[in-house]
Every structure is written in structure tokens, then in C-alpha cells.
Chains A and B, each alone.
Chain A
Amino acid sequence: MNNAMECRLEEHRISVEPFFLPRANEIEIGLAASVNHLPLLLKGPTGCGKTRFMQYLAWRLNRPLITVSCHDDLSTSDLVGRYLVKKNEAFWQDGPLTLAVRAGAICYLDEIVEARKDTTVVIHPLTDDRRELPVEKIGKLYAAPPEFMLAVSYNPGYQSVLKDLKPSTRQRFVSLSFDYPPAELEKQIVMRESGIDEKNAIQMVKLAAMTRSLKESGLAEGASTRLIIQTVMLIKAGIDTVSACRSGMIESLTDDPELLAAMDEMIFSLF
């Protein structure tokens, strides 16, 4: 392994323990998956701790965490690697996936359904017991070391039927469900992350929970833990609570006037 690569990898190593509050046995399951060389599927709405969980797991396992945010322009080369030319000489540069495989790191593909299917096929041989990555261009077949771990995330709440994960893909993974944390836990998370006092944290968590009940009224997704924290940050910056809730939380959720009015009523009931 050359120096440049080690250098790139070190950037991905997490040295300080990330704050992560488990809601159930996700840490144990994550560790068990790692021991058994199984890939992980984290599913749940956005902003509910999936990324944070991966950071924590990487820290626990003392392995670098390489995250790729998927989008529909992502190509196989972006994942696997490509040749580059420097001073008239061509050299090969590993993509994040190859890097992770070779170094025994954790590769986390965030929002996997956003990538096109012809891109994500490259992960298939990594998800079954072959655990290998063919890199055609350099004619190599990397066998993943035991430390390598693949994790992907996916938000089942998206309403679009075009963005569903196929059962055949799904069944290759050990699944962890990241739903909104129970109120008590979410309160602690919000307090820890923002430094707000308990009383206000409770109210903010309640407001978020109220918005989450509106799914069947047509609200695509309720407020996430991240939105709560963001709102609290606004309040701490001196914005009054009602405006902060509106700008930090409610307005980000919908444009529907009836739903907005109803959520306004909720704010006014709580604060």
C-alpha cells in the first residue's frame, strides 16, 4: 500500500468517539454483522441518525469510514476508480469503493436508491459470500479482507414507486431500522447535540412528533431529529421560538396551506 493511499485513508479515520445513542440493539447487530462479514442496510427516514450510527460503528471498529452520497449521475468509475494522467504518465486512482475494499475500511453508500441501477450492480459481488470486487480496467479482482464492510442506506418513506429497493437487492443485507427515536431518547439526543435545556427539548421533540402524525393527511415526511436540532440552533441564535419553529421546521416540510395552518396551531399550543 503506498503512502498517498494511506494518507487518503487517514482522513477517514474517526479518532474521537462520536455521540450516538442507540434505540435498541443496533450497535450489537452492527458489530455482529461486521464479525460475520455481512453487509448492512440502514433504512429509515432522513435525519434520524443513520450517518451518525455509521460514524460510531467505524469508531468502535477503528476502521476508516468512506461515505459516498449517491445521485443519478454517479458512474461505476466514480465508485471503482479510473486512470488519470500526470506529467504525461497515466496512473490508476482507486475510487472510494476500491479504496475501502483494499484497505479493509467501511464503505457507506448513502441513499443508494438515488443511484442508477447499472451503477450499483458493482456492489453485488461484494454483498454475497464471494466478497470480491472486480476492477476490469486494471484487470484485477480484489478479495475483500475481513475488515471490509459495506453499508447502504435507504429511505422507505419516499412515496415514489420508482425509487423502491428491489427485494432481491434487499435480501442481501442485514437490515437495521432507524425510525424516529422514542421521545425520551430523542430528547437526550437534542439536549446533547444542541445544549438546550430539558424543558425546551421536551417541547421541541413533542412538536416534531406531532408533525409525524400527519402522514396520512398527506405530509410526505414529518420533522426529523436533524430538523429539531436545526430549529434549536436558531433559537439559541436569538430567534424567537415561534419563528424558529416555522422557519427551522414547519416550512421545510410542506407548502400545503391547510397543513401549515394546522402545524401553526400545534406550535401555538406548545409555546
Chain B
Amino acid sequence: MKIADQKKRFFAAVLPSRPDVWEVDEIFDQLAELDEATAEEILMQVGAIWPVSHSLCFAYLTHAARALSAELFSTELLGEWVRQILGLYESKGLLGARQFMADVDKFFLGPMRGEAGVAFTDISTRMVHYLRGISGRSFNFEEAQLPSTDTRTIYLPGSLEIFPSLEHNIFLYKFLISLQWGHVESRIYSEMSAPSRVRRPFFDRYPDGELAADLFSVLQFIHVFRFLETALPGLVRRGRELCVELIGKISLGGTARQRSAAFRHLLLQGVSDKENMHGASANESQLPGKPLADALHIPVFEGLPKIYEMFSGLSGTYTLGPAALLLGEFDFARAGETIRLRREEDKAQFVAMFAGLLDQQAARKDEEDKVGNVPDSVQQSLLLIGKQRNDPEKRSNTPILLDNEGLEVPEELAALIKAIEDDLGTLPEAYVQAAAGQAGRGVNRQEVEALEEITDSFVPAHVHSYDEWDYRRAGYRAGWCSLTEKTLPAVRSGFVAQTLRKYQPQLHKLRRQFEMLRTRYRYVRRRRHGDEIDLDAHIEALCDTRAGIAPSDRLFIQLLRDERDIAAMFLVDMSNSTEGWVGVAVKEALVLLADALEVVGDRYAIYGFSGMRRSRSELFHVKHLDEPYGGEVQGRIAAISPKEYTRMGPPIRHLTKKLQATQSTVRLLVVISDGKPEDYDDYKGQYAIEDTRKALLEARGTGVYPFCITIDKSAHDYLAHMFGRGNYIFVDEVLSLPSKIAEMYRLLTS
């Protein structure tokens, strides 16, 4: 009876999909064993899970029915359980989510009871911010058994349950992250990847390579620990105890104790508080005291042979146990490769930006004096910069000026130069030369390119063609891309209603905040008409009369509504990489945003984009600027779904053109994407980044304000370059996306 009704509603909720009836029947058989209210609660969550993955949704229904009929937890916790399921699906896929659902006690209830283990995903946002704070740059995080880094990504265990208290386990994460950052700061990786170092595995030079590698880790750990002592004294003060405890776990049992004891002693020695010497351990090992202490105070590579010698005389095997977390692993080949790639990217980026700047300068010069020899002066200022930058005395403080007219280096370029200098010591002459070589070529190449292109272009009327920026030759490829505008067919579904329900509390707050934007009534003084008398103006008028001059007739205060003359266009990434939770969160964000924008009354439009290759960029219309927001638009929002690739340039250029045509005083272009632009052809890497950057610069040039919101696990270095500092935010927690986007819009326009 009731079950039939529920089933009917289930089918309605999952429209437009038509799930397999047998499968659904099977599940409803299970649900029938529960009381009606419980079954209802379970079904309530379908709306949140179905759009993410159908298989996940079926798995959820089965597991939920099982867990609730066994009364493992009550229905109040169902929402939280689902939230965690979705989180796991996002990070570990269907398999991970299934595992999580299968053992409710271990994975869900245990942590809730305040058991001590902590999963990195639970604290990752905080740690991402923390690491960015201490390092001033961004790292990625990935999971691995032991901590390590390739200088760009930090690898960490997925969860830690070493200490009996949750707080200590969280602290251990923070400590391990700080250590890995310390390794990067110590420059050990760039040193090891320098060409002067022998490329073959370094530790093979020792008879016992494994021992040498372990001893190296110990020395390097101690080295970084000491660095942290000064860099982050609070961290070390709180962490010392934990380190001692971990080191204390190195097993001394059995016959093989000589080496174990030596490792333990060495490590304890390393983390001991020099100002408080009683913390140091008694020497239970057979290591000689003084030479050991000395070996700890010289650079790692000099200390290693000495320590190795001391250890090689000792017998036995050793296991490090949890102390291995502190030491981590070192993969110099991997780090070397990452460093090489990063340097290449830096160089390419520098050359592109710098050459662009030089062209800009040359163009300026050209305007002033139509005499040629621009390249010369460019060359000169370049050499000057090269010299100046390489003089460490002058370096940090001189703002880089290209010439006397003060063409200032943009902030992103300055930051890049600084990063290169930090990495290599100086800005290599070769980089500057490469930029000079590329500068000035842009104009000519562009013309040639244009000729080449025009011949093979037959463009149908409804297709828009756009140039694309090729940074390698510093010129546009004319009419390179074709963009078609399509309307997304609306689907009927409960998506919008469900989203509004799901975000009920936030929505309340959002509406209130946006209401405040709208009702920005302001008392405007000195009006000809108004609701009240402007006393100041009146007195002034009286005074003017007395002084014998004609008084102003602007004597009133009027309550005026601030006209928000804003046109905003939202451009949503519909590439296949948004599949899953990201895509859903973006759609939810649009629903909330539309709701809030209806409250303020700003003009706004929504488009999606995707496509494949330069010949088929697609822009999907969801809502035009002055189209009313209603069922039809809602149906199109619900229909947004992952399609193909991410060629960002053409849609940005297209919407820029659209925005230019509007009458509004403020024109905002908000791009919502999930990371790197990439197409099927060679639109990737640096090329894609540079074209996107160029498209955004063009937008800015026409008076459109672009702002980018990027959703990713971590912020990458290229974001600042691509979007421009201060013109983007990155959101790593998908759950907070809807409120973040609305908040951002509010900040941007208030």
C-alpha cells in the first residue's frame, strides 16, 4: 500500500532516468521490512545521491536498509552518514564508498564515538590553509603509506591512529606536513637533482645501501627538525614529546638490539632540547658520544659517511616502527623530475609574460616616436634588468622598471621572477634572452598566420569564430576556433526543489544577505526634491544668501535606492572532469545563486561550456540575461551534465562580446571551473593556460571584470598566473562551494 506510493515517488524523483524495475523492486522488498517512517527517511536521501551516481544510490539503499533494520544507528544520523558516503565516493570512488557503508561500526560510529584515529580528509582543508600559510605557496596532497614529497605534492598516510588521543593524532599530521615542507625548504631535493650529482642511486656507494639510506633519512630528519626549531618554535615545543614517544617505540627486544639501540639513541639525540639537556637520553647504545654529536652538526652529506662508519661496526637488524613516519621516504628521481618540469614551466611562463611586456613597451614606444630601432632599446633595458636582478644587493627592493616611463612589471611576473630567483639563485640570462628573442616577433607572425587561416575558413552563419593566442609565437591564430551556441534541453526533475530543501538554513542567511544588497537605500543629500530638509544645505544656502550670492536650490535629503546596474554572466565548466560530486555541487550552487540573485534583482545569465577540438566549442544556454528565472531555466540547470573537454578561451571571448553589448555599468564574468583548461588536441599545458589568460586579459581590456572560481583538491601554482592575483578563489571543499560562490558574488558587488 504505502510502499507502492513510495515506489512511485522514487521513480518520479529520479527522472529523467529510468532505473531497472527489477533492481528497484528488490530494494523496495528490503525497505518493506522497515517501518514506514524509517523507509521514508532513507528515501529522502535519494535526491542527494542519485545525481552523483546511480550505482552508489542503489548500494546506499541496500546498506541503509540493512543498517537501520539492524538498528545500528538512528535515522537522525542518516544525513551525516550520507554526507560521508558522498565524500568517500568523491575521493575513493564507488569501491571506497562501498567499503565505508559495509562496516558502519568501524568507519562511521567509531570515529563518532570520539575514537582517536583521524582521517586526513577530515582535516585537509585546515591543513591546506596551514601549509599555504607557512610555505607561502601551494602543495597538493596525496595518499601514501609513508610521508614523502616530490616538492609539489606531499604524500601522507590516509589516516593516523598512533596516539590514544585524537588531538595528538591531528597534531602528528601537522607535524609530518611541516617536516615534509622542511625537506623542501632544506633544498635537499634541488641539490640531489643538480646535474653535478651523480645520477645513479646515491646510496649504492655504500656496501649496505639500505642502511646508508636509512641513516640519511635520520640525519636529514634531524637537520629539518633543527630548522623547524627556529622556523616554527611553537610547533617543535609541542611536538618534541610526541617525537620522543614515537622514537621510544623503536623495539629493543630480541638479540638484534645493537643497531636498534643506536638508531634510537641517534634520533633522541637529534630531537633533544639543547637548552634543556636533561631531556636527552642516556647512551644505551655503543655509539661514541662526542664524534656522534659532532657529526650531527655538519651538513648531512658530510655527516653521513661518519655516522655510517659508526653503525657499520654494530651488529643486528632493526625495525623503526612508527618512527618511520617521522623519517618518511625520499624519492629523489621523482622529485628531480618534478623540479625539472616546474623549471621548464617557469621558464616558459616567464618568457611568455616577459615577451608580452616587451611587445607592449615596444608598441608604446612606437606610438611616441615612429622611428624604428625599438628592438635595440628593448634589448638594452633587458640587459639592464638582467644585471640589476643579478646584483643581490639591489635585488629585493628595486621595483622593476622597464624604462623611464615606468612600465611596471605586473605583480604575477614579479612573483614569478622571485620564485625563479629563490629556486636558482638568480634569474638566468638565458631566460631574458629567450624572451627578447620572442618579443617583437608577435606582430609579423600574426599577419602571416592570418593569411594562412583565412583560406580554409568557410563559416556557417550561426557559428562564431574566435582567435586563439599562441604564446610560443606571441601571436594570435586568427579565427582558429569555432563556437556554436546551443540551448540545453530542460529536464523535469526534483533537483531544484531538493537543493532548496537541502540548503534551507544557508538559503535563509543568503537571502537575508542579498536582501541587504538590494535594500541599500541611501540618504542622498543636496537634492532638489526629497523627503526631509537637508539642514546643512539649508544653512549653507542661508549663508550664501547673506553673502549675496545665489543660493543653491538643492536643499533636501532624498531616500534613494542605490541602482545596482550590474550584469553578471556565469560560465560553467561542463567538461567530463566535473563528473560526480563537483558537477552536482556546481549545479546546486547555481540554484542557490539564482535564488539569491532574484532577491537582489541583478541581471544575470548562465551558460555552460564544453566541446572538442578547436572546430567545436560549444556554449550551452541555460539562462539569457533578461530571461525570467522560472521552471524552464530550472529545468536547464538540472540538465547541466558533464560533456567533453575544457577549452576555456572561446567561451570567455564569446561572453565578453555578449557582455560588451549590454548597457550595464558593471559587467561581471564569473567563470566556474574545476582546474586546468584542456582539450583533445594540443590545447593543454602552458598553451591552454596562456590562451585562457589572454582571453581574460582581453575581457578586462573591454571593461568586463572576470572572476574565476576554481574547484580542485589543491590550488596549483598556475592559477595566479592564469587568472591574475586577486581575481580568483579556489575552493577545495565541494560542500562549501554553493555558499562560497554566493558569498563571493556578494563581496564583488558590494
Q: Which residues of A contact B546 (CB under 8 A)?
A: 83, 85, 88-90
Judge whether A31 is part of the interface by a CB distance below 8 angstroms: no
Q: Which residues of B contact A252 (CB under 8 A)?
A: none
Nearest-CB residue, chain A, relative to B545: A90
Asked if A85 and B542 sit within 8 Å, CB to CB, the answer is yes
Q: Which residues of B contact A204 (CB under 8 A)?
A: none
Residue interface mask B511-525, A partner, CB < 8 A = 1? 000000000001001
Among A83, A157, A211, A266, contact of B544 (Cβ-Cβ < 8 Å): A83
Asked if B547 and A83 sit within 8 Å, CB to CB, the answer is yes
Asked if A266 and B540 sit within 8 Å, CB to CB, the answer is no
Q: How many residues of B contact A (CB 8 A)?
A: 59
Q: Which residues of A contact B750 (CB under 8 A)?
A: 160, 162
CA distance A192 to B104 in the complex (A): 59
**Which of A55-63, A101-109, A146-154, A255-263 makes up part of the contact surface?**
A255-263
Asked if B747 and A269 sit within 8 Å, CB to CB, the answer is no
Asked if B720 and A266 sit within 8 Å, CB to CB, the answer is no
A122 to chain B, nearest CB (A): 14
Q: Which residues of A contact B402 (CB under 8 A)?
A: none
**Which of A5-13, A126-134, A214-222, A229-237 makes up part of the contact surface?**
A214-222
CA distance A210 to B720 in the complex (A): 17
Judge whether B725 is part of the interface by a CB distance below 8 angstroms: yes
Judge whether B476 is part of the interface by a CB distance below 8 angstroms: no
Judge whether B673 is part of the interface by a CB distance below 8 angstroms: no
Q: Which residues of A contact B233 (CB under 8 A)?
A: 203, 270-271
Given A216-B720, A258-B126, A262-B130: A270 touches B232 (CB 8 Å cut-off): yes
Asked if A159 and B747 sit within 8 Å, CB to CB, the answer is yes
Judge whether A240 is part of the interface by a CB distance below 8 angstroms: no
B485-527 contacts to A (CB < 8 Å): 522, 525-526
Judge whether A1 is part of the interface by a CB distance below 8 angstroms: no
CA distance A257 to B595 in the complex (A): 25
CA distance A217 to B136 in the complex (A): 12
Q: Which residues of B contact A159 (CB under 8 A)?
A: 726, 747-748
CA distance A210 to B750 in the complex (A): 27
Among A83, A217, A261, contact of B729 (Cβ-Cβ < 8 Å): A217
A18 to chain B, nearest CB (A): 20
Asked if B133 and A263 sit within 8 Å, CB to CB, the answer is yes
Judge whether B340 is part of the interface by a CB distance below 8 angstroms: no
Q: Which residues of B contact A75 (CB under 8 A)?
A: 525-526
Asked if B232 and A162 sit within 8 Å, CB to CB, the answer is no
Asked if A265 and B729 sit within 8 Å, CB to CB, the answer is no
Asked if A82 and B133 sit within 8 Å, CB to CB, the answer is no
Q: Which residues of A contact B740 (CB under 8 A)?
A: 218
Asked if A161 and B725 sit within 8 Å, CB to CB, the answer is no
Asked if B540 and A77 sit within 8 Å, CB to CB, the answer is yes
Among B178, B399, B545, B549, contact of A269 (Cβ-Cβ < 8 Å): B178
CA distance A161 to B726 in the complex (A): 12
Q: Which residues of A contact B747 (CB under 8 A)?
A: 159-160, 220
Judge whether B561 is part of the interface by a CB distance below 8 angstroms: no
Asked if A268 and B134 sit within 8 Å, CB to CB, the answer is no
A43 to chain B, nearest CB (A): 11
Other than the given A137-B549, A211-B133, 14 more pairs (CB < 8 A) read A23-B397, A25-B398, A90-B544, A159-B748, A161-B666, A210-B134, A216-B729, A217-B730, A218-B740, A258-B126, A262-B126, A262-B133, A265-B127, A270-B235
- A interface, CB within 8 angstroms of B: 23-25, 72-73, 75, 77, 82-85, 88-92, 137-138, 156-157, 159-162, 175, 177, 182, 203, 209-211, 213-218, 220, 258-259, 261-263, 265-271
